[in-house]
Amino acid sequence: MNKIKAKDEVILIAGKDRGSTGTVTKIVGDKVVVEGLKLAKRHTKPNPNAGVTGGIIDIEMPIAISNVAIYNTKTKKADKVGVRIDKNGKKERFFKSSGDPIA
């Protein structure tokens, strides 16, 4: 079970954008794509049949999952994630520092 899932708010703990926060848009293997972070320029050829205009566009590149940590909005810091069984017998993720469940 991955401890970081899509739509989680994460903070970068390594790299040139260190300290920036963003939302995970998708997970690709052991990498995550974070909205608005690690942007790269891509030169695109126009394709009128597909409705694509050419030019230079910014795309979000995958980041290693080890370089991101889940962001705790209460403490405004990076946090570790734990997994436990709740009262109904379902798995739930929680912040290790406070014990609060992750919504």
Q: What integer is the mean pLDDT of 34-48?
A: 94
Note the pLDDT tens digit of each residue in 56-77.
Answer: 999 999 999 999 999 999 999 9
3-state secondary structure of 67: helix
Q: Does pLDDT of 43 surpass 70?
A: yes
Walk me through the domains of the chain, giving residue ranges and CATH numbers: 9-45+55-95 (2.30.30.30)
pTM confidence score? 0.80
